[in-house]
Structure 1
Amino acid sequence: MASETTAPLDPARTISLLWGTRKLPKRGPRHALDSTQVVIAAIAIADADRDIAPLSMRRVAERLGVGTMSLYTYVASRDELVEAMLDTIYADVVRALREQTPTSWRDGLHVVADLNWRMYQQHPWALQVFTGRPALGPNAIAKYDLELSVIDGIGLDDVQMDAVLTLVHTHVEGVARRRVDAEQAVRRTGITDQQWWAAAGPALSEVLDPEQFPVADRVGRAAGEEHQAAQNPEHAYVFGLDRLLAGVAALLAT
């Protein structure tokens, strides 16, 4: 039997799972679970670990108190399970988007960015999931539709609309990933960014020749003193999003 990570992913089968059209086999033992319970249990494990790598069908089965093989009645593989997990956490973003009434395209994109930023803080493992192929679950498509709606009719053509939304997502994902990396560094080393900078800053000053690297010394010193760390993801997120939206405004002006 193929392993959890190498089982082939059947797009049609996965779509039937995500859209709730898959029918469980009538033969075999009476079904005590459903696919939703399996997905929710997997999300709880990944959230607690803040990492997708340790997730396994065995751990999900243990959490549910069933045999590992019984899970394959509901999901065909670990990869399919992860796709279902991703579509499930999108539901919170969809609900929040439907509750928002932005007054402008700029406010709308701010909402889109902020909701995705919060999603990655709550479910950092989602940053580890390959999304190069479009997610085709109902929540993924609803999320895409609602996010596009905030820039519909403002003067962009359809390809530009998709590109602007991709730009926002790329910014959010990139900075969120740096924030998660910083969090993992704290867990791995046992010291905070502030503690690291307090030790690294003075040590670097003893060996760094400012005349050899004048710009790096000046800018790095200013940024380090401002953030009391090597980086500040929250500052990078806000600064980058503001510049990004200014670029969209410039595009609209032309």
Structure 2
Amino acid sequence: MAQPKERSGAGDPVRTLELLWRLPAASGAARGPKQRSSVEAVVAAAIEIADGKGIDALTMRAVATALGMTPMATYTYVPGKAELIDLMLDTVYARMDRADLTGLPWRDRVALVAGENRAMLARHPWVASLPTTRPPLGPGLAAKYDHELRAFEGLGLDDVAMDAALTFVLGFVTSVSRLAIDTDHAAADSAMSDRQWWERAAPVLAQVFDEQQYPLAARVGTAAGTAHDAAYSADHAYEFGLALVLDGLARRIDDPRTDC
């Protein structure tokens, strides 16, 4: 199986943490000539490139060009692409909207957290493609994690279960967001909407697809296609799936001994 080219936590952990928290050791401002840019400017340019063209288009040279600098100059601020990606992720996390969860029922709190992440992934689709098993442990992630855990506070879950519940919710949101992103990419790459694609394929499918041999697939697929005007609807998948996620969490919250 092909592995993603990029992931979080791929750079030197000490250097990355120094940059994320803007420790003095991460800055070379006290040495050499006056700097023309900043870590923040490099990160902002990188995010703009990834938002517009995808993470594969992100290179140190592309960032340098966007800032009117030489490629070597960008290394004055960030040691490499791996560290830059962690800085980008943490900046995106820091900028996320965070609703006031105070006093809300837990289902509403969890739904808001899910919605915040879905909106973030819609604005920054490249984030959904990055494995984050070694997340950028910067101030943006710390604020995000602390805020999101509040959705599960006071429900009788122990700390490990709270973390697992949040991971479960965010995993669902990322999965459905990828469906929406892939749908958009397919339409852009083919220059056809889903309806146009299926209309083009319909004559051939009519010849090869035997509804008698695959009756359930024919019935359900037709019903879903008619309902969504496509093979899938990311919006429907999100609303349907979120309800199931909340019901599953309710079972665990109502009885922490439940093996689910």
Question: Matched residues in 2 for 1:11 and 1:58: separation?
Answer: 23
Q: In 2 relative to 1, CA 104–201 (structure 1 residues): closer, same or farther, beyond 3 Å?
A: farther
1:52 Cα shift?
Answer: 0.2
Maintained 8 Å contact 2:50/2:126:
yes
- For 2:31, give the aligned amino acid: R
- 1:48 matched to 2:52? The reply is yes
C-alpha spacing 1:98/1:209, structure 2 compared with 1 (3 Å)? closer
1:131 and 2:132 equivalent? Answer: yes
Q: Return the alpha-carbon distance in structure 1 between the equivalents of residues 49 and 100 of structure 2.
A: 29
4+ runs of 1 displaced by more than 6 Å?
none
Task: Give the aligned partner of residue 109 of structure 1.
Answer: 110
Displacement of 1:187: 1.1
Shift of 1:92: 2.2
Q: Which consecutive unaligned segments of at least 5 residues does structure 2 have?
A: 1-5, 256-260
Shift of 1:197: 2.3
User: Partner of 1:196 in structure 2?
Assistant: 197
CA gap 1:100/1:156 in 2 versus in 1, 3 angstroms: closer
Q: Residue deviations 1:82-113, cap 9 Å, x none?
A: 110010011122xx225454611111110111
- The DSSP-based 3-state class of the residue aligned with 1:73 is coil
CA RMSD of aligned residues (A): 1.8
1:117 touches 1:176 (CA, 8 Å); kept in 2?
yes
Which residue of structure 2 aligns with residue 143 of structure 1? 144
Q: Given the alignment of the two structures, is residue 72 of structure 1 paired with residue 61 of structure 2, yes or no?
A: no
Asked if 1:170 is matched to 2:177, the reply is no
> How far apart in 1 are the matches of 2:228 and 2:14?
48
**Given that residues 27 and 77 in structure 2 are in contact (C-alpha distance below 8 angstroms), is that contact kept between their aligned partners in structure 1?**
no
Q: Contact 1:196–1:229 at 8 Å: present in 2 too?
A: no
Does residue 62 (structure 1) correspond to residue 65 (structure 2)? The answer is yes
- TM-score using structure 1 length: 0.92
Cα distance in 2, alignment partners of residues 169 and 57 from structure 1: 30
Cross-structure match for 1:81: 84
Q: Is the 8 A contact 1:127 1:173 kept in 2?
A: yes
The corresponding residue for 2:21 is 19
**By how many angstroms is 1:23 displaced?**
2.6
Q: Which runs of 5+ in 1 are unaligned?
A: none
Aligned-residue sequence identity (percent) comes to: 45
* Alignment-mate amino acid for residue 13 of structure 1: R
Distance 1:54 1:149 in 2: 36
